[in-house]
Amino acid sequence: MTPWLGRKARAAGTSGYPDHPIRLVLPSTIGGTSDLLARLVGARLESALGQRIVVEARPGAAGQIAVDYVAAAAPDGYTLLLADNGANAIAPAGRGTARTTAMAGFAPVTMLARLPIVVVVGPALGIDTLGALIARARAAPGRLFYASGTVGSTSHTAAVLLFRRAGVHLVDVPYPGTSVAVKDVLAGAIPVLFTHLGTVASLITSGRLRALAVTGDHRMADFPDIGTVAESGYPGFDVTTWHGVVAPVGTSRRIVARLHDELVRIVGNPDVRRRLAALGMEPVGDTPEEFAAAMATDTRQWAEVLRSLRSPGR
């Protein structure tokens, strides 16, 4: 048996799948990147499968609430998780227990897309570059605040890594949902935000927020004017997130294959690819085995990063 199938598959009646609505569970709040992606892909998956896709947000505990909920669901293909590397790699790496490894409880279907974190500020801050932000923080340690996702999220970890690398101290204000954080930055309550590019793309384009850098290893095709953190003087800096679909472990091969084939067709559609690019996302659409390997590698790498952050001299 393929390792990622885990316990013996016990889903019944797969030949008629699906015959009622499917729940796609998010580990974050409505309005963020997961929600945008879920609705973009979910609408097309509805058409392909002939059943409604119900997007259901279960945020909290760095994604663990949603992760545990889907892992405990019946392996019948009707409860899926829109996994991401915050909930399914960084958080498990931080806990470091067998129960919470990236693969525990899940059968991977496919990685849908990758995307970087973007560092943005409100125009009122008067800062145009990442270097200027670091210089401001160095001149006033502990007096500059930034918003990010919950502790253990990709956005929070990217900020911690960057500021440690730069040797500066900014005060983190974690938010359970992106939409509230964005509102506070727009209102000037918080000057700096680390978030997924897709959630603030329109605000960057309109000039309401100013992008300083993306955290990936290359510039995004639809946002060529936003440089990378590496280009700003921190070579090798590369923090990206991914989103993909997983089912409870034990879900039948036939159901996983059906979902995989439809989702890969969806992310390969030219219109979907254009929409993903506009959200700062790069489509993937890999095999279940490739997705499993990517999650395992990501968890190992994040475990090393988190160990280094806990080491003396932090």
- Model confidence over 222-269: pLDDT tens digits? 899 999 999 999 999 999 999 999 999 999 999 999 999 999 999 999
Where among 206, 232, 258 does a domain terminate? 232
Examine the domain organization and report whether 108 and 192 are in the same domain.
no
Examine the domain organization and report whether 191 and 271 are in the same domain.
no
- The confidence score (pLDDT) of residue 13 equals 47
Q: Which of 166, 178, 180 is nearest to 34 (CA)?
A: 178
- Model confidence over 123-161: pLDDT tens digits? 889 999 999 999 999 999 999 999 998 877 888 889 999
Per-residue exposure over 184-197, b if at least 16 CB sit within 10 Å of its own CB, e if not: bbbeeebbbbbbbb
Is the pTM higher than 0.75? The answer reads yes
Read off the CATH number of the domain in which 303 is found. Answer: 3.40.190.150
- The confidence score (pLDDT) of residue 14 equals 57
- The confidence score (pLDDT) of residue 1 equals 38
Q: Any residues with CB less than 8 A from the CB of 313 and at least 6 apart, and which?
A: none
Q: How far apart are CA 71 and CA 258, in angstroms?
A: 20
Q: Any residues with CB less than 8 A from the CB of 250 and at least 6 apart, and which?
A: 5, 6, 7, 8, 9, 10, 11, 75, 107
DSSP β-bridge partners for residue 145: 171
145 in a domain, yes or no?
yes
Kind and range of the H or E element at 80? strand 79-84
Q: How far apart are CA 268 and CA 262, in angstroms?
A: 10
Q: How far apart are CA 212 and CA 17, in angstroms?
A: 47
Where among 214, 232, 250 does a domain terminate? 232
Determine what percent of the chain is predicted with pLDDT higher than 70.
Answer: 90
Residue found by looking up tokens 């990501």 in the block: 298
Domain count, the chain: 2
Domain holding 181, by residue range, is 116-232
DSSP β-bridge partners for residue 119: 194, 213
